[in-house]
C-alpha cells in the first residue's frame, strides 16, 4: 500500500473541470522545441478572499469560469465582471462545466444547469461510506460526469476518496471505486477518467461503459494531467526527486520518466501546452511555465506572486491569486 504522507497536498489540487483534452494522436512526448513564455492577458477581480480555501472553481471549454462562494455560484464570461448564476440551499463543494451545461454539487447531490439560462436540468444523488463529506471534485467529459468525494476530518484523519461516474443523459450513477483513491487525483476526457488507486498501488483508467484498467504505480502523485495523447503524472520518486512520468493515454504503456524541478507542484493540460506551476523557497514564490514532458525542462517562467498553487484552470490556461484580500482570475496565453 502507498504511503499517504503527501495526500494532504494532493487532495487539494484542482484540475480544470470540463477541460477539452488536446488531440490524442500523439503517444509520446513531443521532441524538444523552443518553448514560449506565458503571459497574463487579463486580470479579473472575483471576490473577497476570506473564504478562498472553501471556494470552488471550474472552467468550461470556451474559457468561461464558474466559481462559488458558499451557496452562491457566479460565472465570468471572457474578461467581463462576474455575474450571478445560481444560488443553492447548501454550500457548494464542487463545480464542473461542459460546452452546454454546468454542474453544482452540494453535499452528495449534484445538479445540472444550462449555461444559457441557468435552468435546472436534472440532479443525481451520490453515495459515500461516511457522511457528511468534506471535500469533493467533479470533471465533465463527453456524456459523463466523474466525481470524487471524501469525508476526512481532523478527527478521522486522512481518508481515501470514492469515485463515481454519472451519465449526463440519464439518471444513472455508478460507483467506480470505493474508498481507495487519493482525493483530488482524477482527470478525465471523453474516453474515460484516470485516478490514483492507492490500495492497488496503481493508476486506474475507467471508461464510461464501466470497464477499468490498472497499471502498477507506487508513487503518490502531486497531479495528473492529459496533454497531447499522454497521461502526465507529476510525482516525487523514492530518491526524493520530482519527476514527470508520461504514459500513452490510451494504453497506459510505454512510460517515459524525466526529472523536473523540485519546485514543481502542479500541472494541467491546456491549449498552450502542459502548464506547470512552481512554488520555490520558504515563502513559496509562485510562477508558471510550459513544461516539456520529453525533456523535463520548463520554458521561461512567469512570476505570479500570491498564486494559489493548487488551482490550475484548463483548457484555457488560468491561475488564481490572492492579492490585497481579493481573489483574482489571471488568464494566460503563450
How confident is the model over 120-141, as pLDDT tens digits?
A: 999 999 999 999 999 999 999 9
User: Residue 2 falls within a domain, yes or no?
Assistant: no
Give the three cell numbers for residue 329.
482570475
- Beta pairing, strands 202-206 & 192-197: antiparallel
For residue 141, tell me if it sits in a domain. Answer: yes
Residue 29: predicted pLDDT: 53
In a domain, 220, yes or no: yes
Q: What percent of the chain has pLDDT over 70?
A: 90
CATH at 133:
2.130.10.10
The reported pTM is 0.90
Q: Range of 186's domain?
A: 7-333
Which residues, at least 6 apart from 321, have a Cβ–Cβ distance to it below 8 Å?
304, 305, 306, 307, 308, 327, 328, 330
1 domain-assigned: no
Nearest to 183 by CA among 94, 73, 257: 94
Contacts for 309 with CB less than 8 Å, ≥ 6 apart = 265, 266, 277, 279, 284, 286
Q: Is residue 270 part of a domain?
A: yes
**Can you tell me the distance from the alpha carbon of 24 to that of 316, in angstroms, rounded to the nearest whole number?**
18
- Do 264 and 299 meet the contact criterion of CB atoms below 8 Å apart? no
pLDDT digits (tens, 9 = 90+) for 308-327: 999 999 999 999 999 999 99
Q: Total structural domains in the chain?
A: 1
Q: Is residue 110 part of a domain?
A: yes
- The answer to whether residue 225 sits within a structural domain is yes
Predicted confidence band of residue 209 (pLDDT cuts 50, 70, 90): very high
Amino acid at each position: 500500500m502507498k504511503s499517504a504522507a503527501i495526500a494532504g497536498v494532493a487532495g487539494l489540487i484542482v484540475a480544470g473541470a470540463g477541460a477539452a483534452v488536446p488531440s490524442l494522436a500523439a503517444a509520446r512526448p513531443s521532441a524538444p522545441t523552443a518553448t514560449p513564455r506565458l503571459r497574463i492577458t487579463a486580470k479579473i477581480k472575483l471576490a473577497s478572499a476570506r473564504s478562498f480555501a472553501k471556494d470552488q472553481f471550474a472552467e468550461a471549454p470556451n474559457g468561461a469560469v464558474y466559481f462559488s462562494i458558499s451557496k452562491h455560484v457566479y460565472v465570468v464570461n471572457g474578461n467581463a465582471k462576474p455575474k450571478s448564476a445560481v444560488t443553492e440551499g447548501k454550500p457548494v463543494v464542487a463545480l464542473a462545466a461542459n460546452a452546454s451545461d454546468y454542474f453544482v454539487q452540494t453535499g452528495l447531490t449534484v445538479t445540472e444547469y444550462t449555461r444559457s439560462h441557468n435552468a435546472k436540468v436534472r440532479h443525481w444523488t451520490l453515495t459515500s461510506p461516511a457522511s457528511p463529506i468534506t471535500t469533493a471534485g467533479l470533471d465533465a467529459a463527453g456524456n459523463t460526469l466523474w466525481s470524487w468525494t471524501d469525508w476526512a476530518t481532523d478527527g478521522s484523519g486522512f481518508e481515501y476518496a470514492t469515485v463515481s461516474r454519472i451519465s449526463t443523459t440519464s439518471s444513472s450513477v455508478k460507483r467506480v471505486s470505493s474508498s481507495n483513491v487519493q482525493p483530488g487525483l482524477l482527470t478525465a476526457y471523453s474516453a474515460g477518467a484516470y485516478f490514483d488507486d492507492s490500495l492497488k498501488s496503481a493508476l486506474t483508467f475507467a471508461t464510461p461503459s464501466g470497464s477499468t484498467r490498472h497499471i502498477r504505480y507506487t508513487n503518490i502523485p502531486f497531479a495528473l494531467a492529459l496533454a497531447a495523447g499522454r497521461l502526465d503524472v507529476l510525482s516525487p520518486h523514492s530518491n526524493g526527486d520530482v519527476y514527470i512520468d508520461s504514459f500513452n493515454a490510451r494504453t497506459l504503456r510505454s512510460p517515459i520518466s524525466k526529472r523536473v524541478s523540485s519546485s514543481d507542484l502542479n500541472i494541467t493540460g491546456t491549449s498552450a501546452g502542459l502548464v506547470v506551476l512552481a512554488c520555490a523557497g520558504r515563502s513559496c514564490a509562485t510562477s508558471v511555465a510550459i513544461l516539456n514532458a520529453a525533456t523535463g525542462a520548463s520554458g521561461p517562467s512567469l512570476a505570479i506572486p500570491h498564486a494559489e498553487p493548487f488551482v490550475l484552470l484548463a483548457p484555457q490556461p488560468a491561475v488564481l491569486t490572492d492579492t490585497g484580500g481579493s481573489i483574482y482570475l489571471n488568464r494566460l496565453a503563450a
